Amino acid sequence: MIQITDLQIEQKMWPLLRQAFRPMFLLGALFSALAMMLWLLVLAGYIQLPVYGQVLFWHSHEMLFGFVAAIVIGFLLTAVQNWTGLRATHGKALLVLTLVWLAGRLALLMGSYLPAWLVVSVDLLFLPLAAILLAIPLIAVKQQRNLFFVPVLLLLTLCNGLMHYGLLSGHFLIQQIGSQSAVWLITLLMAIVAGRVLPMFTANGTMTQKVQPIVWLDRIALGGLWLIFFLQITNTSGFIPAAGMATIFAITAMALAVRCGRWKIWITGRVPLLWSLHIAYWFIPIALGLFALRYMGLPISNSLALHALTAGAMGTMILSMMARVSLGHSGRTLKPKAIMSLAFLLVITAATLRTLAAALWPEFIINWYLFSGVTWVLAYLIYVVVYLPVLTTPRADGRPG
């Protein structure tokens, strides 16, 4: 319980700095749209960017460690207050964290004018700082269940460092290990969080009984993702025959699909905050299935399968979770404006165009990239416009946060 004096201080604080989801969601979503617009302008040949490294590196790095990392940290540093009952990062500490994140984005964007050591140092600071801020309340209440998120953030920092090292040393393989390991680690986080909240969200939103987990099924699904991440970051998948890798991906895909199928997407049709989350999760087994088919010899590119995770699962789940968390943690009812359904459909369309359409009609691949990017930008700009007043004003119920 926050004391009256604390509440009075809270009321004088800029609402944007009262909880981590506020600046991280707003700036992360806006950055996602702006970064994608710049990427599309580069693809179309209209502009050149003075980025650190080269523009493909900038695009892949910033969508992961700029956009996705901001949302992950916003979510974790908000959730930790519910987990521990202690006041989470806010005020000056949150301002410093936000400025560190912003400095990293500017450093990468203007990197050709800056020494590489400065860009790397600034960029690598954000996740460890966030890990410390997350660890403090968890350790204070000795909460072991959620403490594992701290080493996960440090593993993400390692992935980020590998991307930088690979770029600066000229070893593309190391750079790729860093970026793809980050994708699998974030995918694992999504699967863990979805398993915790999606059955509950579905039960509450549809007034039905909560689906209970099947322990052995969860172990196969999450264990498969851990194995894939391990093989990726250690670069040991090459020691396993293609048939073996196809089997790993196929079994993990089936386990994840059965897991999600039990959560009954068919009863969520009237609740946008639910069907969008379910569809986001379904992109994970779809992507794993694509990787399985790739290892079986079908002409499916690594980029295509990977974008089913990044554009599909991450893009859709992030937008849906931001829409939900922003309402719930600002004291509002979980009923988003109708236009958010359009935003969810747009980001799903972006993922579909980037994967399915690009695979079926490769002769128009640049066009599909552009169409996909435009729908992504529109989806996230809708969120920014709709949720700007939500994120920058006090809670509707008068409570702190």
pLDDT value of position 10: 66
Cβ(271)–Cβ(335) below 8 Å: no
* 4, burial (CB in 10 Å: exposed 0-12, middle 13-18, buried 19+): exposed
Residue with tokens 């399915």: 356
How high is the mean pLDDT of the chain? Answer: 93
pLDDT value of position 357: 75
Distance CA 21, CA 13 (A): 15
Sign of the C-alpha dihedral, residues 293, 295, 299, 302?
positive
pLDDT value of position 367: 83
Residues with Cβ within 8 Å of 367's Cβ and at least 6 positions away in sequence, in order, are: none
pLDDT tens string 6-31: 556 666 778 999 999 999 999 999 99
Cβ(192)–Cβ(176) below 8 Å: no
**The model's pTM:** 0.94
Angle, alpha carbons 218-148-273 (nearest 5°)? 60
Distance CA 372, CA 368 (A): 6
Q: Indicate the residue type of 392.
A: T
pLDDT tens string 238-278: 899 999 999 999 999 999 999 999 999 999 999 999 999 99
pLDDT value of position 66: 97
Distance CA 65, CA 156 (A): 9
Cβ(39)–Cβ(62) below 8 Å: no
Q: Which of 245, 249, 237 is nearest to 285 (CA)?
A: 249
Kindly give the parts of the chain with pLDDT less than 50.
1-5
Angle, alpha carbons 149-154-160 (nearest 5°)? 125
Distance CA 269, CA 325 (A): 20
Sign of the C-alpha dihedral, residues 21, 23, 28, 30?
positive
| Secondary structure tally for the chain: helices H, strands E | 16, 0
Cβ(25)–Cβ(322) below 8 Å: yes
Q: Indicate the residue type of 94.
A: L
Q: Indicate the residue type of 275.
A: W
Distance CA 128, CA 110 (A): 23
Distance CA 60, CA 131 (A): 23
Concatenated DSSP letters for 289-329? Answer: HHHHHHHTT-S--HHHHHHIIIIIIIHHHHHHHHHHHHHHT
Distance CA 121, CA 29 (A): 24
Distance CA 137, CA 355 (A): 41
Element (DSSP H or E) covering residue 401: none
Query: In angstroms, what is the C-alpha Rg of the chain?
Result: 21
pLDDT tens string 45-83: 999 999 999 999 999 999 999 999 999 999 999 999 999
Burial 290-324 (b: 16+ CB within 10 A, else e): bbbbbbeeeebeeebbbbbbbbbbbbbbbbbbbbb
Cβ(146)–Cβ(80) below 8 Å: yes
Q: Indicate the residue type of 251.
A: I
How many other C-beta atoms lie within 10 A of the C-beta of residue 363? 6
